[in-house]
Amino acid sequence: MNKVLQLKNKLTQLATLDATFQVFGSESHQYQLNPCLSETDIQIFETKYKITLPSDYRNFVLEIGNGGAGPGYGLYRMPGITYENTILVTPYPQNCKILSQPFPFAEAWNNLDLIVKDDADISVNNDAYFNEQFIQGSIAIAHYGCGIYAILIITGEQQGNIWIDDRTNDNGIYPASLNFCHYFHNADPDEYHPISDDKKALSFYNWYEDWLNRSLEQIR
């Protein structure tokens, strides 16, 4: 069975089993998906921004849906694509023109020296820390709440992987590893047991399937 069909089947199971939306964030998307994109839609997007979408994500928006049911509060639609009735219409603000520039990190980053503090020693938003150069080559794909965003890497050596933009909480930018998913896709965070030295970012498919598997386990 190919990966797309596996994800479709698991999503259908989850939507059926979780009719009362017990899984975190499911009330937002209610297991609905935006319409799939066409090959022409994707080619126009790729040409406009001079990029090539990662194959996993490309197949997902072609065969499953362009945003909707997913981790956190659900998947955002692809930037620049709108519908009359769109699920999750307000993606994390981002300058799509920097998509073609390579994502700058291969390991977790957090330079707190870029944050300016006022006289009361209270952190204030600082343009240097939140500069878009730190998320270039990526698109925001989901929101976990509390300003924690999952971003899909489009360009660079991390292409196709999911990273986390947690700068709102002064935690920087880091890979969406199994450790991260154990906590954020787990119905009971108290059962979180870190995997030592796990720092590798999951691919889009593995990240999405991790959410499906843990959600199904919770409901069952």
Mean pLDDT, consecutive 10-residue stretches, the chain (220 aa), reads: 89 97 94 94 92 96 96 90 58 70 95 75 68 94 93 97 95 93 74 58 97 94
pTM for this entry:
0.88
172: which 2 tokens? 């920087």
Q: What is the pLDDT of residue 118?
A: 55
Query: How many domains is the chain built from?
Result: 1
Q: What is the pLDDT of residue 194?
A: 45
Q: What is the pLDDT of residue 73?
A: 95
Q: What is the pLDDT of residue 220?
A: 86
86: which 2 tokens? 């769109």
Q: What is the pLDDT of residue 89?
A: 47
Q: What is the pLDDT of residue 121?
A: 53
Residue 193 belongs to what domain range?
3-219
Q: What is the pLDDT of residue 15?
A: 97
DSSP letter at 183 equals: H
Q: What is the pLDDT of residue 86?
A: 57
Q: What is the pLDDT of residue 46?
A: 93
CA distances from 125 to 49, 56, 112, 150, 205 (A): 29, 34, 11, 20, 33
Q: What is the pLDDT of residue 47?
A: 92
Count of alpha carbons within 13 angstroms of residue 129, beta-carbon side = 21
Q: What is the pLDDT of residue 123?
A: 52
Q: What is the pLDDT of residue 192?
A: 46
